[in-house]
Structure 1
Amino acid sequence: MAKILFMMTGSDHWTLKDGSRRTSGFWAEEAVTPLEAFRAAGHEVTVATPGGVVPPADPASLEPGTNGGDEGAARMRAAVEQSSEFAHPIALADVNPADYSALYVPGGHGPMEDLAVDADAGRLLTSALDANTPIGIVCHGPAALLTATRPDGSNAFAGFDIACFTDKEEELAGSALTAPWLLETRLKEVGLRVEEGPPFRPHTQRDRNLFSGQNPSSSAPLADELVRVLA
């Protein structure tokens, strides 16, 4: 059994370009699907957020339209509400990275609000990279990589190939014009290489100990890859 740290957003909103707030949080599929896969493989998951607040699910990720209908939405809501891991997070500041065999970061626009500027998130990701600990990260979760900097200011993941929610997908989703910044663009600016798959289709990327997925539909294959690595 491995101990896996879920680094999750604590923000229930995303601040837009005009200063207004959009309700947000983590995208349920990107957290629930890997959580269930890791549990099924016998692993233990601990959730950590900035300040140790309970991570909020983006309401849009619990709707029938994003879960294949009413039955899927009900299952997703139940999975979020009944998760003891989500209900009892610890603070990122209190995490000892040596206690965990893998680190996983689900997306949603929430991470764009807090993990993208959280020094503890950067500390944990850099420590995991240097210890060759498997890192799984999906959709907007790679926003957390922006804080993973070396003493000279360079990004610890510069030169890595990565999958993330692309600028094209942000445009197709109708969020690009109101976004304060775009994830793919920002990751490229700090030196990562974004490998783009077809919009909204499963696409994963591995570079050394960094395992990444492009969008919600990539969370299941990404979790499967991490389960194989941890076996």
Structure 2
Amino acid sequence: MEDMMPKVLIPVTNHPTLGETDQANGTYAPELSHALHVFLEAGFEYDIASIKGGKAPIYGADIEGDAVNEAIFTDERFQAKVTNTLPISDVNIEDYDAIYYPGGFGLLSDLATNDDFAKLAAKHYESGGILSAVCHGPAGLLPVTLSNGEKLLASKSVTAFTREEEIDFGTINDVPYLLEESIARIAGRYSKVQPWQVFVVEDGRVITGQNPASAHAVGEAVVKQLSN
């Protein structure tokens, strides 16, 4: 990657609903757009990928008053990437300096248990790459197993969307499982702050944010590490 701008791989879900309900869901737009805005401001390149490829289900693209979200989602180049996501079979993980998992409830039902993406993430991490995620995005780190057989998260300090935030958001009864509990059972340490506050945990090359408000700060942490 010498003399080239850093490149970020953004895995997104193919699952279009909240768990097994019929509530439209997928990737939560602001968690994708606000981190991506930071990457683009830093001059980074990016690709958007999913397990199956094709059009990614997105919700929250039309939130009023979110200028960053609106700017990203009306950008033609971005629209082309999110409408034609790379299937995992076409991803060359050596092309990337960081992986960023945006949240949304959809990935609880696919990326959180997908071995193919988990193997790519493990290879990326063990080659010196950065793994980052926000809100429900850290679910994508749950299946990542290192070459020594240990779970990536077993020795890591991380955060993710909290039980309190699920209650506030009205999703506590519809999520397929409680992410906070799933992460806390595996991670070396799970931390959280008051609901909806910006909170980012950096543990070496693993960077996680608690909630949608933390997406910008996760992006900044990734840029800072890749700029050193």
User: 1:37 is matched with which residue?
Assistant: 38
8 Å CA contact retained: 2:122, 2:145? yes
* Residues 14 and 24, structure 1, Cα contact 8 Å, conserved in 2: yes
Which position in structure 2 is the counterpart of 1:49?
A: 50
**Which residue does 2:27 correspond to in 1?**
26
2-structure distance, mates of 1:28, 1:100? 22
- Say which SS state the counterpart of residue 48 (structure 1) adopts: strand
Mapped to 2, the partners of 1:177 and 1:194 lie a distance apart of: 22
Give the 5 Å matches for 1:37-186.
37-58=38-59, 61-64=60-63, 67-68=64-65, 75=71, 77-79=73-75, 83-150=79-146, 154-186=150-182
Q: CA–CA distance in 2 between the matches of 1:7 and 1:143?
A: 12
Q: 1:214 and 2:189 equivalent? A: no
Change (3 A) 1:220 1:47: same
Equivalent residue number for residue 6 of structure 2 = 2
- Where in structure 2 are there 5+ consecutive unaligned residues? none
TM-score, scaled to structure 1 = 0.87
Determine if contact 1:62/1:76 at 8 Å carries over to the other structure: no
* Separation in structure 2 between the aligned mates of residue 130 and residue 72 of structure 1, nearest angstrom: 33
Q: CA deviation at 1:63?
A: 4.3
Sort the Cα spacing of 1:75 and 1:214 in 2 relative to 1 into closer, same or farther, 3 A. same
- TM value normalised by structure 2: 0.88
Change (3 A) 1:81 1:25: farther
Q: Which whole-Å deviations, capped at 9, do the CAs of 1:130-170 have from their partners, x for residues lacking one?
A: 12211111000111112213578642221211111011111
* Structure 1 Cα separation of the partners of residues 147 and 220 of structure 2: 34
SS at match of 1:12: coil
Residues 208 and 220 of structure 1: is their aligned pair in 2 closer, same or farther, counting only changes over 3 Å?
Answer: same
Distance 2:148 2:97 in 1: 28
SS at match of 1:37: helix
Q: Where does the alignment leave 5 or more consecutive residues of structure 1 unmatched?
A: none
Q: Percent identity?
A: 28
Q: Which amino acid aligns with 1:110?
A: G
Q: How many pairs align?
A: 223
Q: Which runs of 4+ in 1 moved over 6 A?
A: none
